[in-house]
Chain A
Amino acid sequence: MPNSTMTIRRYLILAVVMVTGSCGDTCLSVGMKRIGPVSIAHMGTLFAAVRTPWVDVGIVLLLGFFASYLTALSWADLTFVLPATSFGYVIVALLSRFWLHEHVSISRWIGIGLITTAVGFVTRGPSYTPPSAVVEEG
């Protein structure tokens, strides 16, 4: 059974999940905006997109995300890891606003604030459901 204690190293892994996930999504966005809209009749364009630099960087970052995400899931619940790493949405919003110059409205900022509040709320609780509790409830 995994040790459920959250150490600094484990918090760092959660931080890596946030940063690589949000930066990876943003790089994919830059790459796909340069390609332009993909129509349903030309879905093959999505495979061609994999050969563009920004999409490649996005894929490398998302591979880093996947490795750190798997590591986190090996010692914490899915319903802990996902909200705990939701702060990545704030990083996406900041990158969208200041790097991609997309419009992020006030209501979206409030929405992002609520998500961040949820993150703070859930991370104060336990990170792992021990198998004994699973058996009791199951």
Chain B
Amino acid sequence: MAAPLIAVAGIAAIVLTATTGDVMTASAMRKLGDLDAIKAKSGLGGAVLAVATSPRLLIGALSMALSFFALLFTLSHADVSLVAPASGSLTFVSNAAAARIFLKERVDSRRWIAAILVCCGVVLLHR
């Protein structure tokens, strides 16, 4: 497979797995509540236990692990100055849509404009 095609496929794999990981993780943390408050009440061990026993977080962590290996694979074929910003920025855009749909976050015009700015940034990063 040609190197640019591998880079594009690698970045797509990173974005898909990272978005799944981020949404599942955010969902888990939203359900748990403020970690600082949990730590104040149950100590550091209680906070770690609350996080480690969350099924959503485990699914999120698994997705992030897949994203990590996709990142390692892609970094062996393309520059970090392309892979890291491109995958990260695209993940941000897909996360904005996923957060609106699945997490019901209030993604207002300010956040959408930020998403458009990031999209333009990604196009420039690919030139």
User: Which chain A residues have a beta carbon within 8 Å of chain B's beta carbons?
Assistant: 1-3, 22, 25-26, 28-29, 32-33, 35-38, 40, 43, 46, 49, 55, 62, 66, 69-71, 73-75, 77-80, 82-83, 86, 88-89, 92-93, 96-97, 100, 102-105, 107-108, 110-115, 117-119, 121-122, 124-126, 129, 133-134, 137-138
Interface of A is mostly: helix
A74, B84: Cβ atoms closer than 8 Å? no
**Contact of A74 (CB < 8 Å), options: B34, B73, B114, B120:** B34
Q: When the two chains form their complex, are residues B120 and A112 in contact, meaning their CB atoms are under 8 A apart?
A: no
Within the complex, what minimum Cβ distance (angstroms) separates B80 from chain A?
Answer: 4
Closest to A104 in B: B81
The answer to whether A86 and B81 touch across the interface, beta carbons within 8 angstroms, is: no
In the complex, B96 has a CB within 8 A of chain A = yes
B53 CB within 8 Å of chain A: no
CB <8 Å contact, A83 and B118: yes
Residues in chain B near residue A75, CB distance under 8 A: 34-36
Q: How far is the CA of A26 from the CA of B79 in the complex (A)?
A: 10
Q: Are A125 and B111 in contact (CB under 8 A)?
A: yes
A111 near B123 with CB under 8 A, answer yes
Chain B residues with Cβ below 8 Å from A49 are 72
A32 to B33, CA, bound (A): 37
Look across to chain A and name the residue whose beta carbon is closest to the beta carbon of B125: A111
A79 to B84, CA, bound (A): 18
Q: Are A97 and B114 in contact (CB under 8 A)?
A: no
A105 to B125, CA, bound (A): 9
Inter-chain contacts of A33 with B (CB < 8 A)? 75-76
- Offer 26 A-B interface pairs, CB within 8 angstroms, sorted by A: A28-B75, A29-B75, A38-B76, A49-B72, A70-B25, A70-B35, A73-B25, A74-B35, A74-B36, A77-B26, A77-B106, A78-B23, A78-B103, A79-B96, A82-B92, A83-B92, A96-B79, A96-B81, A103-B79, A111-B125, A114-B121, A115-B89, A118-B113, A125-B110, A126-B106, A129-B106
Cβ B37 vs Cβ A86 within 8 A: no
Look across to chain A and name the residue whose beta carbon is closest to the beta carbon of B115: A118
In Å, the complex CA distance between A88 and B105 comes to 23
